[in-house]
Amino acid sequence: MHLIITEKHNTAKRISEILAPKKPKSVRVSGVDTYQWDTTVVMGLSGHIVSVDFPKEYNNWQKVDSRELISADIITTPTQHKIVAALRKLGKESDHVTIATDFDREGELIGVEALRIVEKVNKGITSDRVHYSTITKKEILKAFDNTNHVDFNLAAAGQSRQVIDLIWGAALTRYISTTAGRLGNLFLSVGRVQTPTLALLVDRERERLAHVPRTYWEIIATLADSIEFEAKHKAGRIWDGDEANRIFNTLGDTAKVIDLKAAERVDHPPMPFNTTEFIRAASSIGFTASNAMRIAETLYMNGFISYPRTDNTVYPSSIDMRELINSLGKGVFKPYVENLLQQPELTPTRGKKETTDHPPVIPASFVERSKLKDDEWKIYELVVRRFFATFAPPAKWKTMQALFDISKEEFKSRGASLLEEGWRWYYPYHKPEDMILPDLEVGQVLSVVDKQLLEKETQPPGRYGQGRLIKLMEDLGLGTKSTRHEIISKLYSRAYVHGNPLQPTKTAMAVIETLETYAQTITKPEMTATLETEMDLISEGVKTEDDVVDESREMLRAVFDDLSKNSEKITEGLRTGMREDKIIGTCEKCQSDLIIRRSKKGGRFIGCTGYPDCDFSLPLPKSGQIVVTDKLCEKHNINHIKIINKGKRPWELGCSYCNYLEWQKSIKDSEDKKQ
């Protein structure tokens, strides 16, 4: 029997439908759906079916010192018992197994995990590997006609990441949590990639807090010819208020054109999508990083787009691009395809990185809008339009810079109008608007119909949005194309950040500031990037998994040496930050701090620090992580609250006092109706 193993159930079903001469038979084995015909069986896993962990004797956080985890044995335990049972049963009956999991480091490890389970029950079984980037009939048939060997080095690199992340995450999380006295579901999470990523957000927040606004003035004149348009004083920002007022008071009612500079600007088409650029583009149209990847994964498994986890920004020569473009020429895309195919040559743009594992994220086949959910269609359309844009000609703009004399003060205005849409016709997202100036001539006199003296302040640097943060993580070597969006999701779920752009909580600030002071290594990207390079050497066969894991253990021991010298100061720093994160406002009765507290029975409430002299309190929801935002209720001067429950959207609770009064009113209204 020939056993084919895919990464997920949906992939197994689709591949079986492609390979089988007629509709395959669905058969449940040990509670798992498989697809069978003749002597072939296809079954899907559920991602990783085993996990790495410490032996049970290390589980007690208060009895086992966190440092002991650095040297502890690592065991592998099944997490998907039904799938493991099905693998064992089918493995005994098979003489050959084909690993058809996703073609990357993680997919190779998932495949090897399944292969090892099969080999334990059938030592004589043979195996091979298939590589594909799209789940289309053409590519799947080609992949099974050109099988490869299983890459155990690549899988070992993936395994080393799991082991290193477990050791670093568990040891540091346990140390920081026990030191801060924050145990149970509210433990303080620390991780090899997570923590330096959080440090980027904290660094930016500190820049914002340290920003001292500086006042400046701008002078804007509204001029009129055939149309009205604005011109700004050539100085731009004027830092002296007296000087700004002097200039403003001298301005007359006419403006003379003293210089005109016309030009054409070429707006080059974008590069193909790799994972990072895809997430950034999806983020710009309203998708979170994790949502964009989840939808892309669904589209990939259904054969509509290529594998969405890729670093490649260069289309491989093996793909017939004209044929692929032609296959998309239906429905709303028909006019775009017709236009592209009229070009004598289809020469795409190229990014800086070229790899051989997967192409950039591209459409794999046409699908009608009615067959997809709204969010799925938006992501699919984004991918298709980006693909088209990479083959399109540049856009061209006509630009005009005009200089005016108003009472011997120079003002300037810029105009731009699109001459040729080029690639922007195919990819219309965030297209700049025309800035129209009238036809002007040097020496022409225009009317000044309005003048404004605007007083402004410099603004702090902006927080990072998800797309921008993922690009920064890529540039610094933090995480991989497969894990960066998961790291950001983890920061949200741990209540370290809220909002988008991402804003760190006071607890996050305290964790990073403490680690930067006493164990700086864990907060810097260099350590993580070094380990990523070491893992690449495993996949190349230059280093072994054991060597790299042992090196990481030595690095972690050095971190603990620094931590253990300063445990009392670390406790003080963390607890101060966590206390600040619980303050939500000022008590209207006694002006003491209102703070999030726990009752003796474990419930949560907002209480006054003036207790027992002041008994003011407000109720809170029983479950979920509480995040205190910087948005204030104008009526009660209390910070708004968010509640984060794992796997659910954050609940914007708002002002606790307003909620309490509304609840009281609803109870009273209900009682009044009963009377």
The four Cα atoms 315, 320, 322, 326 give a dihedral, to 10 degrees, of -110
387: left (phi over 0), alpha (psi -120 to 50) or beta: alpha
What lies within 8 Å, CB to CB, of 619 at 6+ separation is: 605, 606, 656, 660
d(CA 163, CA 171): 12
Strand partners, 523: none
d(CA 282, CA 671): 49
- Gyration radius of the chain's alpha carbons: 31
Q: CA geometry: angle at 561 spanning 558 and 565, to 5°?
A: 155
Q: Quick one: angle between helices 374-389 and 275-284, nearest 10?
A: 120
Question: Among 307, 380, 427, 518, which one carries the catalytic annotation?
Answer: 307
d(CA 475, CA 469): 10
d(CA 562, CA 611): 39
d(CA 397, CA 395): 7
Q: Residue 264 class from Cβ within 10 Å (0-12 exposed, 13-18 middle, 19+ buried)?
A: exposed
Is 307 an active-site residue?
yes
* Alpha carbon 58 to its chain's center: 33
| 664 within 8 A of 613, measured Cβ to Cβ | no
Sheet containing 593-598: give its strands across: 583-586, 593-598, 604-608, 617-619
d(CA 651, CA 13): 37
Q: Residue 31 class from Cβ within 10 Å (0-12 exposed, 13-18 middle, 19+ buried)?
A: exposed
Output DSSP code: residue 634: T
- Secondary structure (H, E, C), 218-233: EEEEEEECCCEEEEEE
Q: CA geometry: angle at 155 spanning 467 and 275, to 5°?
A: 15
Length of the chain: 675
- Copy the structure tokens of residue 128: 């091979």
Quickly list DSSP for 487-547: HHHHHHHTTSEETTTTEE-HHHHHHHHHHHHH-GGGGSHHHHHHHHHHHHHHHTTSS-HHH
Catalytic residues: 307
